[in-house]
């Protein structure tokens, strides 16, 4: 399973061909987990009712990762690994914690975030 970071969802929602075709296939094969904080970030940036509707529909139908106290775990992990010093905030730490707990790979274009994701959890569209 794969967790798409907010940066990847944005490229997909903009219909960027290099992302859209790959993500469409992942969605068809039901290989994408939804993470609440990612969808919260997406909803925070909507500009139209149509955009909100699309994002809400994906949220509604995708399988979700929802762990108790994941934000606390992410905060502890971030502190232990000094993620804030590396330019990685709490939202990315939460995404990373979801990836670790579910053994899911994470796809992001955020270079700071990429640097702290363990190699076995990084997803590249070449796979």
Residue 40 lies in a domain: yes
* DSSP classification of residue 52: H
CATH number at residue 58: 3.40.50.1010
Concatenated DSSP letters for 68-126? TTHHHHHHHHHHHTTTGGGT--HHHHHHHHHHHHHT-EEE---HHHHHHS-GGGB--TT
- Cross-strand bridge partners of residue 32: 2
Residue 91 lies in a domain: no
User: What is the span of the domain harbouring residue 31?
Assistant: 2-66+103-121
pLDDT the model gives residue 86: 97
Give every CB contact of residue 53 below 8 A, 6+ residues apart in sequence: none
Q: In the numeric block, which tokens belong to residue 112?
A: 């700071």
28-62 tens-digit pLDDT: 999 999 999 999 999 999 999 999 999 999 999 99
Residue 52 lies in a domain: yes
For 5-34, what is the mean pLDDT? 95
64-86 tens-digit pLDDT: 988 899 999 999 999 999 999 99
Residue 92 lies in a domain: no
Residue 51 lies in a domain: yes
Task: Judge whether 94 and 37 are in contact, CB under 8 Å.
Answer: yes
Residue 89 lies in a domain: no
Number of structural domains (the chain) is 1
Q: Is the pLDDT of residue 19 over 80?
A: yes
Residue 31 lies in a domain: yes
72-125 tens-digit pLDDT: 999 999 999 999 999 999 999 999 999 999 999 999 999 999 999 999 999 987
| Long-range CB contact pairs, 26-31, < 8 A, 24+ | 26/2, 27/62, 30/63, 31/1, 31/2
Q: Is the pLDDT of residue 127 over 60?
A: no
């Amino acid at each position: 399973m794969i967790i798409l970071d907010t940066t990847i969802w944005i490229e997909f929602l903009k219909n960027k061909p290099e992302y859209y075709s790959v993500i469409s296939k992942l969605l068809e094969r039901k290989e994408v987990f939804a993470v609440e904080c990612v969808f919260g970030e997406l909803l925070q940036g909507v500009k139209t009712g149509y955009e909100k509707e699309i994002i809400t529909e994906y949220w509604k139908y995708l399988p979700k990762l929802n762990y108790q106290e994941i934000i606390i775990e992410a905060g502890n992990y971030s502190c232990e690994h000094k993620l804030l010093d590396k330019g990685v905030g709490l939202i990315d730490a939460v995404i990373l914690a979801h990836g670790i707990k579910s053994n899911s790979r994470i796809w992001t274009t955020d270079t700071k975030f990429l640097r702290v994701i363990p190699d076995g959890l990084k997803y590249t569209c070449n796979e």
